[in-house]
Structure 1
Amino acid sequence: MLEIKQHNFISSYLESDISFKWLRGNHHGHSTRSDGTDEPLTIVRAYEEAGYDYFALSEHDFLLRREELQPYTKMCVIPAVEVAAKDEQTLQYLGADRVLPPLSLTPREIMDRVHQAGGLCIFNHPNFKPFQEYATDQMLDSMEGIKGIEIYTGVIERLFGQALATDRWDYLLSKGWRILGHATDDQHAREDQFIAWNCVQWPDSQAIDPKGIIASLSEGRFYASTGVSISKIETKDNNQCISIESDADEVHWISRNGVILKKVNGGSSSLTMKELRENPRLHNKDLSEAFYVRIECLGHGNKRAWSQPFWIVPEE
Structure 2
Amino acid sequence: MLSTRCADHALASVATTTNESFSFETIQTMNRLFCFIIATLGVFPLISVAAEPVMDDQVRWWKGNLHTHSLWSDGDEFPEMIADWYRQQGYQFLALTDHNVLSEGMRWMGVTKIVARSDDGVVGRYRDRFGDHWVESRANPETGDQEIRLKPLDEFRHLLEERGRFIMIPAEEISDRSEGKPVHINATNLAEVIAPAGGATVREAMQNNLRIILEHEKAHGREVLPHINHPNFGYAMTAEDLAAVASERFFEVYNGHPGVNHLGDKDHPGIEQMWDQINAIRCGAAGIAPIMGLATDDSHEYHGKPGSRPGRGWVMVRSRFLTPEHLIQAMKRGDFYASSGVSLADVSFDESTRTLSVDIQAEIGAAYRTDFIATLRDESAEGNAADLHKIGVVVDSQEGTTAKYQMTGNELYVRAVVTSDRPHVDPSFPDQLQQAWTQPVGWKQ
Task: Report what 2:249 is aligned to.
Answer: 147
Aligned counterpart, 1:78: 169
How far apart, CA to CA, are the structure 1 residues paired with 2:261 and 2:207? 26
Following superposition, the deviation at residue 123 of structure 1 comes to: 0.6
Distance in 2, Cα, partners of 1:68 & 1:102? 26
Deviation at 1:161, TM superposition (A): 6.8
1:173 match = 279
Indicate the residue corresponding to 1:222 in structure 2.
336
The corresponding residue for 1:90 is: 184
How many Å apart are 1:297 and its aligned residue? 0.4
Structure label with greater radius of gyration: 2
> 2:189–2:225: 8 Å Cα contact kept in structure 1?
yes
Q: Which residue of 1 aligns with 2:6?
A: none
Distance in 1 between the 2:69 and 2:415 partners?
A: 30
Unaligned 5+ segments in structure 1 are 1-17, 278-286
Structure 1 position 160, deviation (Å): 5.1
- Structure 1 residue 54: Cα displacement: 0.4
Aligned to 1:109: 208
Q: Percent identity?
A: 26
Relative to structure 1, the CA distance from residue 201 to residue 136 in structure 2 (aligned partners, 3 Å threshold; closer, same or farther) is same
The answer on whether the counterparts of 1:201 and 1:222 sit within 8 Å (CA) in structure 2 is yes
Aligned residue pairs: how many?
277
- In structure 2, what is the equivalent of residue 61 of structure 1? 100
Q: 1:165 to 1:68 in 2, by over 3 A?
A: farther
Report the Cα distance in structure 2 between the residues aligned to 1:36 and 1:239, rounded to whole angstroms: 48
After TM superposition, the structure 1 stretch with the greater mean CA deviation from structure 2, 42-51 or 76-85, is 76-85
After TM superposition, the structure 1 stretch with the greater mean CA deviation from structure 2, 89-98 or 221-230, is 89-98
Q: 1:266 aligns with which of 383, 400, 403?
A: 400
Partner of 1:183: 295
Q: Does 1:296 align with 2:417?
A: yes
Aligned pair in 2 of structure 1 residues 148, 103: CA closer, same or farther (>3 Å)?
same
CA contact (8 A) 1:84 1:103 kept: no
Structure 1 residues 1-316: aligned runs within 5 Å: 19-65=58-104, 66-74=153-161, 75-87=166-178, 88-102=182-196, 104-105=198-199, 106-118=205-217, 119-128=224-233, 131-132=234-235, 134-155=236-257, 157=258, 162=263, 165-175=271-281, 176=283, 177-190=289-302, 191=304, 192-203=309-320, 207-236=321-350, 238-246=352-360, 247=362, 249-256=368-375, 257-273=391-407, 276-277=408-409, 287=410, 290-299=411-420, 300-301=422-423, 302-313=433-444
Write the letter of the residue equivalent to 1:240. Answer: R
User: 1-side partners of 2:314 and 2:195: how far apart?
Assistant: 28
State the partner residue of 2:202: none
SS at match of 1:183: strand
Higher relative contact order (CA 8 A, sep 6+): 1
Gaps of 5+ in 2: 1-56, 105-152, 200-204, 218-223, 265-269, 284-288, 376-390, 424-432
Superposed CA RMSD: 2.2
Letter paired with 2:370? V
User: Contact 1:83–1:91 (CA<8 Å) still a contact in 2?
Assistant: yes
Per-residue deviation, 1:237: 7.8
Deviates more, 1:38-47 or 1:102-111: 102-111
After TM superposition, what 4+ stretches of structure 1 lie above 4 angstroms from structure 2? 158-161
Q: CA deviation at 1:141?
A: 4.0
**How far apart, CA to CA, are the structure 1 residues paired with 2:192 and 2:275?**
28
Q: Deviations over 1:183-239 (max 9, x none)?
A: 000000125110000000122xxx321111122222211100000010011234834
What's the CA shift string for 1:45-87, capped at 9, x where partnerless? 1000001000010000001254234212132111111012232
Q: CA deviation at 1:311?
A: 2.2
CA shift in 2, pair 1:237/1:152, >3 Å: closer
Contact kept? 1:114, 1:121, Cα under 8 Å = yes
Q: Retained in 2: the 8 A contact 1:120–1:147?
A: no
| Amino acid across the alignment from 2:290 | R
Secondary structure of 1:174's counterpart equals helix
Amino acid at match of 2:356: I
Question: Partners in 2 of 1:261 and 1:234 — Cα distance?
Answer: 18
Cα distance change, pair 233–161 in 1 and its aligned pair in 2 (3 A)? closer
8 Å contact from structure 1 (residues 233, 245) kept in 2: yes
Deviation (angstroms), 1:103: 6.6
One-letter amino acid of the counterpart of residue 146, structure 1 = E
- What's the TM-score once normalised by structure 1's chain length? 0.81
**Partner letter of residue 125 of structure 1?**
H
Distance, in Å, in 2 between the alignment partners of 1:162 and 1:72 is: 39
